[in-house]
Every structure is written in C-alpha cells, then in structure tokens.
Structure 1
Amino acid sequence: MLLDLDFVARQPLSVFGVGAGIFFLKGLVVFGVALVLNVSFRTAVIASVSLAQIGEFSFVLATVGKASGLVDENLYQHFLSASVFTMLVSPLLIAFAPTFVERTQRLKFFQLFGTDKEGAGAKPLTDHVMIVGFGVNGQNVARVLRETGIPYIIIEADGETAVRLRKEGFPIVFGDATRKDILHLCEVGRARLIVFAISDPQGTRTAVRLSRSMNPNIHIIVRTKLVSEVEELEKLGANEVIPEEFETSIEIFTRVLDHYHIPRNVVNAQIKVIRDENYGMLRGRMLTERGLDRVAQLLAAGTADTFLVTDDSLATGKTLEELDLARHTGTTLIAVVRGDKPTITPPGDFRIESSDSLVLVGTHANMDRAFAYLSQLPARESETSPATTKERIEHGG
C-alpha cells in the first residue's frame, strides 16, 4: 500500500478534486447530523471539519478491495492520494475553523443555524447576570442567583440541555456566546455581569472580546483551566480570571492552615496577595517587592476575631478583671455576645459564661496569644497564681 507520487504528479487536479469532494461530502454529512442533534453552529462546523478526513480503516478496506480485484490500480491510487490529501489539510482546516466560524456567523444566513429565540425576550432584562455554559460551575451560579432573586439568563450551546432546562423553568437561550446576535438577544448591553464557565479557550477569548466591545461597563468573570490564559484574557477585557488548577491549590492550603488554627485573616492575606500577583507564587515565580511589602503590611495590621467560650475553657466562670486579657495577651476585649445580646465594653466585674463569644481586637501575634491563653484548661488551685499563668503563656505553654 504505497502512494505513487508519479500518479499524483500526472493527475494533480483529479486528485485534488477527489480529495476536496470527499472532504466536502463528509463534512456536510457531519454538519447536518450535528444540527439535527441540536448543537451550536460553532460546534457543528468544528466537528464537521475534524471528522471530514479519511479514516485509517478506509485504507484497510481499499487494500482488501484491491486484493480481491474489486478496485483497480487507477481507482486505488485516486483513493490513496485523496486520503493522504485530506490528512495533510485537515490540521490546517481545524486550526482555521474557529476563525471561519467567527467571520461567517455574522452573516444572517448562518445565524439561522444552531440557535433559537426562545428563553429570552419574555420580559426585559436589566442589571442582570449572564451565565455562559451550564456545567457544574454554571449550575452553582444559577442556583445561588435564583435563591437570592437576582435576575439572570443562561447561554448554552447544547440544544438538548437548553430544551430540558427551559422546561424546568430556567431562563436559557440555546446558542453560541461568540455570536453578536446571541449576546444582543440576552441584553448584554444592559447586563451588570457576565460569567464564562465553558471549556473552549478560543471561544472564551472571542466572547470576552465581543462582550467588552458591546458593553464597556460590564463586569466579566472567566473560569479557565489554564493559568497561562490569565494575562491574555485580562487584556481582552476580563475583570477577573479564575484558573481552576490554582484555585484548587488555594483551597487545599487554606484547609491545611485552618487545620493548624492559623487566623483566618492571615490566610486571607496570603490568598489576596497570590491573586493580586496573578498566581505568580504558585507558578514558581518569586513574589515582587510590592507583593512582599503587601504581605508585611497585611500581617502587621491589627485584626478582630471572636473566641467561643466552652465549658472547659479557662475563661468560664471568671470575671474580665480576673482574666486580665490586656496584661496576659495584649488584646482588647470590646464586646461579649451572649445568645443574641451583645454587651459592648463590659465592666471588669462582668462574669464570663460558657457559650459566650468574646470579641477581641489586637495584632495577629497578640490574637494568637489570646487564643492560646483562653484555650487552656482551668488550672488546679495550686497553679492558679497570676505569675504561674503568665509564665506558661510567655513560654508557649
């Protein structure tokens, strides 16, 4: 099964015609099937181009046909040459397909495919949220918006999903967010925010750029799988880009630090700096001098936190004067919440009870000292002198 290059050189137009014909007919069949399955125009075009080439199994059939005398040498070389031609041009056409879709879908004829007008326009939308993609992330956003009464509309490229969700009462439009008519249908010009939760990097970039051009004031949030896309998406107009891989890392180290009782505001300070630096710390880059200064500022600043008093806490049954938090820990108690009732700046003879919440103010170091002090078990009578307690705290006991 060898390609005869002399045959190709003798009949280049014939080989090109057969190859182009195969590519066109297969692509047309796949495109039609995709539309019948209710997918978007963009998906249908990319699928048809990706599947239009001759498959490897066809070579097997052609070889068997030739060996059986069903296919002569001329037909065999035409088929073989055309097959190689489709394999060579297929990668180029697949790479060009998104650009082709972006340009052709502006034409009214192509806007007839892979979309519908239902799900939008029932009532005017303004100051709403647009959700592009109804996977796990899109569903979670929609559920929260629905429960809080914030108006929203969904753009979904899967026709079956759109039909099912519309029957369930979701405001959803079947279409492609890379199309200007779809964004206009969803009132992008009057929307407050748009969330992109789709796994199509090229489509996301196109839709972000188009959304920004149609509404300069809209807030754009993008979920992406690749952190390498963050900077480019921000240049195209995204306000916030959330890379999944590093947000997962942040959630993991947050839980690790919580397990070690690191104050939440310290954890939040680390998270904020990482995000402000475009995840540079997690990408193996050193923090900039500005980032390091920001960490120092956040950690040096004071904080407020609450401590829940339990039955076996050192504070249970003691007055504030007996606890003397300022002397032992350096923190200031500004309120005690008992049940639903707060007591602001309670007096020294105020007695602490189990289930009280102590509202403390101080530096991070003092706050850690206060939590360690209050978390101690009540000492025996022979160990309750102020000097002994102070000595234990100063030595980390």
Structure 2
Amino acid sequence: MLEHGFVQIIILMALAVVCVAFFRRFNLPAILAYLVAGLLAGPELTGLFDTPQDMHLLAEIGIVFLLFSLGLEFSLPKLIAMRNLVFGAGAAQMCLTTGLFSTLAWLSGIAVSTAVIIGGMLALSSTAIVIKQINELGIVNHQRSQVAISVLLFQDLAVVPFLIAIPLLSYDSEMGLGQVLGLALLKGIVVVAFLLSIGKWVLPWVFREVARTRTDELFVLTTILIALLAGGLTYVFGLSMALGAFLAGMMLGESQYKYQLEADIRPFRDILMGLFFVTVGMQLDIAVLLNELGLIIGGVAAIMVMKVLIMRISAGLAGCPPQHAWSAGLKLCQIGEFSFVIAALATTHGVLTAQQSSVLISMGIISMAITPYLIGKSQQFANYMGRRSASTPVPDDNPTFETTSGHVVIAGFGRVGQSVAKLLRMEGIPFVVIDADPVRVHESRSAGEPIIFGDCRSKDILVSAGINKARLVLISFDNPGEVVKIISATRQISSTLDVMVRTKRDYELDSLYQAGASQVVPELQEGNLMLISQVLHYAGVPMSRILKRVRQERKGRYDHLHGFYPGETTEITYGTQDKLEFVHAVMLGPHAACLGKTIGDLKLTKMRIAVKGLRRNNRDIANPAHDAVLTAGDILIVAGKPRRVERAERYLLEGS
C-alpha cells in the first residue's frame, strides 16, 4: 500500500513537471499546468487518484501559506497612499461586479446565499498571473498598472468576508444571509482582536529571539508554526483556516522580518499551492465540461466583456483617465485563483454543488489561458479606446508613488556598510541595505535607514531590495564563502549588474573575480595604497604621478604590493601557509644547478613563482629579462607561497 502511494506521488510529480514545462514554453501560467496535471491524474481520465480528497489536508495547508504570504504583502502605508484607487476603483469594481453576477445567478433560480458566493467568485481576478505578467513586461510602475494593482489589493481584502461566511453558511442552512454575515462579523472581530494583540506584544519578541540564534532552520520552523497556529485558531472558532493565516501574515507584514519570512515560506507555499490546484483539477468533471461547453465558452466571453466594462465605469468614478481604465479592465477581466479557493471551500461545505463548481472552474481555466495575451495587448487596445473617449492621450509612465531605482544595494550594514551609506546619503544617491542582525536592523530602522532584515544569499530578498533596478551591489563584509553565494544569486537575477566586493586581504581575489564579481577591493592593499600615496606626496612626488601609480596598481591587481620578507616574528599557521606570499633572496653559489641557464629556461612560472629581481655585482635589475643568463654570485629574488618558495630554492640550487 505504501509503495503504491509512493509510485502515485512520483507519477503525479512527473506529470506536473511535464505540464509546467509545456505550458511555460507557450508563456501560459503555471496554475493552468497544475490544473491540467490534476485533470490527467484524476478519476475522470487516468484514475491515478480515485479519491482526490486524500490530499485535501495538504492542499488546504497550501491555501494557508498562500493567504499568509498575501497577509505579508498587505501594507497599511501602501493602502493609505493608494486609498483613492483602492477604495474608489477597487470597491466600485468589487461591489458592481458582485452585484451584477449575483443578480444574474439569482434570476437563473439559484439561492440568494449561493448566488452571492458565485458573484463574488466571478468578481475576483488573478493576482498571481497579473502581477507576474506586468513584472515580466516591466510595466509594474506605470500608472495604468497601478490602477490594476489597487483593484487587486481591494479584491484580496474582499476575499476575507467570503472565507468567513462560507463555513457558517454550511452549519445552519436555516439562517439567512444577513444573520450569517452578522455572526461572521462578530466572530471575526473577536478573532482579529485576539490575533492582533498576540501580533503586537508576543510575535515581535518571538521572532527577535529566534533571529538572534542565527539559525535558519529555527526561523523557517517558527514561521510555519505561526501560520498553522493562526489557521488552527480560526478553525476552532468555526471560521476558515485561510483567514487565520491571512491575519498572521498581516500582523507580521509591517515587521522588520517581512521579507525574510516571505522568502522562507515561498518554497513551501509554491509546492503546496501547486498541489492545491492539482486537487482542483482532479475535481473537474469532464462530462460537465463537454455537456456545458457552449455555456462555458459563452459565459467566459460574457464575463470578460462585462468585467472590462465594469472596470471602465469603476475607474472612471474614481477619476482615472479612460486609457488607464480600459487597460486595467483588460488586465483584470479573468477569473482569479482565489475563485478556485472559494469554489473548493464552498463545495466542501455544500454551498456549491459539484456541477456548479466544475462549470465555474472551467470558466476560470479558459479565462486564465487568454490573460497573458490580453495583458500584452492591453496598452494598444486602451490607447485606441481612450482616443475615442478623450481628446488627448495620457502618458503611461508616471508612477502613482515614488519607487526606488538607480540605487545601490548594500549587503551588510556593519562598519564598512554604514560608512558607505553615510557618504552615499551626502551625495544624494539612494540606497537599500540588507542585513541579518536583528538588533542592528531594529536600531537602523528606528533611525530611518532603508534597511531590510534578511539573508543576502536569498534571491527573493535581493529582489525585495530592488536589485532589478539597482545600479550597483556592494557586498561589504569579509566572508568569501558567503560572498560567492551572494554573487551567484545576484548573477541569476542580473548578469550585467555591477557587483563590488570588499575583502580584508587579497587571498581570495581570483576566486571572487571568477565567481562573477565586477570589482574586488582588498582592504589591506587599499590601505597600503593610501599610505603609499601619502608618503609619495610628502616626498615631493607630483599628485598626477601618484594617481597614475595607484591606477596602475589597481589595474595590475596590486602586483607590487604582494609578498614580503618574513622575519622570526612572522606567524605561519595552518590556515595561512597557503595564503601568505613571501619574498625570498636565493644566493647562487659556484655549484648551483641553475648556472648557465636563462631565467626563461627555468620555467619558474609553472611552479607559480614570480621573479621579482636580480642583483649582480651590487647592482639591482628590476624585472630581469627572460633571456638573462644566471652566473655564480647572482642573487635571484623570487616571490610565492612559503612551500613553493622552498621548492624553488632547492630546484635552483640542487636541480631537484
């Protein structure tokens, strides 16, 4: 039995991989791929899973994580800044669309409570698809995109009442819709008040203590536990688990740990969300799809047209220009992924029948498949329709709020990072800091610094810092192993972005450049250069020659600053014996094996030994030529790692 279940899971994963790869090739959303994979694995086709309900718990946990992530993204300051659009266009779109479709459903003979649920489902749009598409097109900061985002934000908030009401509708069918909503409101107030009090006084302390342990596993486990506990609490009150997860995310959305929490939860969320959509696909009734194909296709066309028109009216009421309203309407005319969440929840609680759910899910799948094309063409259509309703075109590149771009991302806010930030501020250059020290982040944020708590190695954290729009990434701490991982994550996001790395010494210079660093600044060598510059200046050397010398040393990767003559106080440890570079003078006696040979014949470079100079007859020859013949009495000055210098000396004197 166990082996059979394991094989089923392997086959299901293989189906999901193939479907996602196939759909992405045609620029279709991964959600559709998961739905198709579920359809293929469900009882209607292959019968791989005869009872999709077996995976219901895991799928519901996926919804919990999705709502938790949504709560993290819910920003009260952003909501206030965009309140005119959110509570103007967003509220109008949600109310008008829900009212229209609820009325149509009620006129078709469906009960009022079910009709309202259906109307709400059809009013929602796909946050995941729309945000992903406008990000890929690079239009996320355009005003017409901000109109769409504002409406999506209100829709995300509007999901919460449905999550509260659906379980209550199933418990007591004799209760009217008004009574259900009233009871839901009362329970919601109690739960929200309790969770918000926990979030204000308990959770910050918990995560502060967890962050101080510097243990990634503990941070992830605590995040998962908080999301599940919040979901379990609302479930105990007879409400949806997803509601509790949303509230937990909202509580932590304004904390300094927001971006790290989002990055930690995303892998679990994406995997379990994929499983949720697979289970939705399994529940799709092929017979209903075929029998109601005309209704489904006609319904999709009617729904999308009506949603575009309602969006035009709603945005117009909020004072948006016609072009922006038409563009937002095309972006939001599909049925969203939260509609699937509501459909699954409503079917589970008996609010919707399986046939109604299959019809609505089929409509959602078709509308989602069309969405990428509509978003790509939305600007052309909006410009055409806008010119018909306005005399002058409206520019599209004015963001509704200030965004950070052309900034410097500073990884690490220790001594060096803070010094760089102060000078950047003096020059008026914007910057964003990433640091994993909770105390430092708290103090810096309290002082108004633009700082994010998180692991710099995480691509999600780097994206949250706006690395896609940055002009430079500075890695300000000296930890070569971690630095290489940060460079790798940065290069996966942008192959052209300049990455500057600070290191204490130049031991790792070559490896850091090979990892993808644009510029490596060894602190010790740069300190030496500054000291040398001062010495040369006080010695009377013109400043132009000093600057030229400094540039040459940097271009040559500090070639003349490498190596030193060791003394009896020089410590050579196991960790430094292969990193230090010594300069050593080898006296060539009358019996030296290298006499009569040229420097080039010795091929010392293969031993990774550099010839720094040659002293002959008390006269120094810097950088001697390769064809210089060695004679008795010469002193050859070589440089290299300690063990290599020892081998080179034996080779020069003994020939072995």
TM range (shorter): 0.3 to 0.5
Structure 1 or 2: larger strand share? Answer: 1
Q: RCO (CA 8 Å, sep 6+): is it higher in 1 or 2? A: 2
TM-score, normalised to structure 2, is: 0.27
TM-score, normalised to structure 1, is: 0.44
